[in-house]
Amino acid sequence: MESNQMGATGDKNDFPMVTGSEFLGPYKDVCAVRPQNYSYYAKHDIEWGDLNNYEINHKLGRGKYSEVYQGCNNFNNEKCVIKILKPVRTEKIYRETKILQVLYGGPNIVRMYDVVREESSKTPCLIFEYIPNIETKQITRTFNHLDIRLYIYKILEALDYAHSHGIMHRDIKPLNIVINHEERDLRVIDWGLADFYKPDAEYNVRVASRYYKGPELLVEDRKYHYSLDIWSLGCTFAGMLFDIDTFFKGSDNYDQMARIVRVMGTDDLKEYLRRYKLNLPKQIGKLIKPTEKTPFEAFINNRNQHRSSPEALDLLSKMLVYDKNERITCRDAMKHEYFAPIRKLA
């Protein structure tokens, strides 16, 4: 990979090499201490249900790997969501279904009720619970500061449950958060990119949606871990706090990193790159120049000031950190003073 002057330079002892497993606390060895088949999905046995039990009503949306419909369970007439997978590697289907089975019943995590397939084409379909909702980006416009605290806390509950079961979501964004505001109910959905975390394993960096990609993905650091979800949630949190659709909005992956640097500055970026002996792709190096960190207070204005607080900005500063190993964990985030009003209601 080509690099620029902001790559890994200087004395190799300036920053000791660290591994993610040193920083993961309660999530460190979840998969390592369980039987091998816990996180093994290459030959996961699927108990196929009966497609005739369900009826498709209308289309809800589509993604890169699937099309999603509202449907009906023919036995009890209850609404459901039917996710029809596009042709993908069998292993990916095994991985998603196994992860959803492991996470079934977890707080604020969408429940998968069944797995069926059309006999002639063998197209797999996942059947999920139905949650009445309005598009998250639209409904968050109406939120007050207590709403934001509540829903960010609920997302953290879901992610803490996933991480404590050795699972990274890897695609946290508003579109993958379903909110029924009338009931104050929330689900984290679309676990299609999720994977089991194994200490020091290397993972595909082509995950997460561009605006929510952590710096580790953009500099192709393949040894990332659960804290990728914290960065993505931090981007979502910032959008809610500052009442903007997207906090970092790059035109491509190179520009995405440049947009992050304009806010987060170059000093911490240099330290991050040196610490892990990483190099910036040359295309990114051309887009950035020495920049001081912009305080989050600079994004507060008359329109959004009612949503923010010193505690909110402090929590955000612990989520949006270049170094994957210095971000706050879900469990510690849930203990943050920002959520004191929510804990009192519990």
Q: Enter the tokens of residue 162.
A: 């996933």
More confident residue, 16 or 263: 263
Predicted confidence at residue 342, as pLDDT, reads: 95
Q: Is residue 144 part of a domain?
A: yes
Same domain, 245 and 259: yes
Neighbours of 198 (CB within 10 A): 16
Same domain, 94 and 65: yes
pTM of the model: 0.92
CA torsion sign, 88 to 118 to 58 to 154?
Answer: negative
Residues with catalytic roles: 171
Backbone angles phi, psi at 132, to 5 degrees: -60, 135
Same domain, 217 and 250: yes
Residue range 98-118: mean pLDDT, rounded: 96
Q: Enter the tokens of residue 331.
A: 């469990």
Instruction: Grade residue 7 by pLDDT with cuts at 50, 70 and 90.
Output: low
Amino acid letter, residue 164:
S
Q: Enter the tokens of residue 170.
A: 């890897």
Q: Is residue 166 part of a domain?
A: yes
CA atoms within 13 A on the CB side of 2: 5
Non-local (6+) Cβ contacts of 53 within 8 A are 73, 74, 75, 114, 116
CA distances 216 to 70, 212, 224, 280, 341, Å, are 36, 11, 7, 11, 33
Backbone angles phi, psi at 28, to 5 degrees: -55, -60
For residue 312, what is the domain's CATH number? Answer: 1.10.510.10
Could you tell me the residue range of the domain that residue 70 belongs to? 51-129
Q: Provide the number of structural domains found in the chain.
A: 2
Residue range 109-133: mean pLDDT, rounded: 92
What is the per-residue pLDDT across 293-345, written as a single tens digit (0 to 9) for each? 999 999 999 999 999 999 999 999 999 999 999 999 999 999 999 999 999 88
Predicted confidence at residue 310, as pLDDT, reads: 98
Instruction: Grade residue 1 by pLDDT with cuts at 50, 70 and 90.
Output: very low
For residue 114, what is the domain's CATH number? Answer: 3.30.200.20
Residue range 123-143: mean pLDDT, rounded: 86
Predicted confidence at residue 200, as pLDDT, reads: 84
Question: Taking a C-beta distance cutoff of 8 angstroms, is the pair 229, 169 a contact?
Answer: yes
Same domain, 96 and 191: no
Largest CA distance in the chain: 68
Among candidate residues 280, 232, 234, the one with its CA nearest the CA of residue 254: 280
Same domain, 173 and 252: yes
Quickly list H helices, the chain: 90-103, 136-139, 145-164, 215-218, 227-242, 253-264, 267-275, 282-285, 310-319, 330-334, 340-345
* Beta strand pairing call for 195-196 and 167-168: antiparallel
What contacts 24+ positions apart, CB below 8 Å, involve 8-14? 8/273, 8/274, 8/276, 8/277, 8/278, 8/279, 9/274, 10/274, 12/277, 14/274
What is the per-residue pLDDT across 43-66, written as a single tens digit (0 to 9) for each? 778 899 999 999 999 999 988 889
Same domain, 182 and 319: yes
Same domain, 157 and 183: yes
What is the per-residue pLDDT across 188-243, written as a single tens digit (0 to 9) for each? 999 999 999 998 899 999 999 999 999 999 999 999 999 999 999 999 999 999 99
Instruction: Grade residue 15 by pLDDT with cuts at 50, 70 and 90.
Output: very low
Question: Taking a C-beta distance cutoff of 8 angstroms, is the pair 60, 75 a contact?
Answer: no
Q: Is residue 124 part of a domain?
A: yes
Instruction: Grade residue 260 by pLDDT with cuts at 50, 70 and 90.
Output: very high
Instruction: Grade residue 121 by pLDDT with cuts at 50, 70 and 90.
Output: confident
Predicted confidence at residue 3, as pLDDT, reads: 44
Taking each helix axis from N to C terminus, what angle separates 253-264 and 267-275, rounded to the nearest 10 degrees? 120
Strand partners, 124: 117
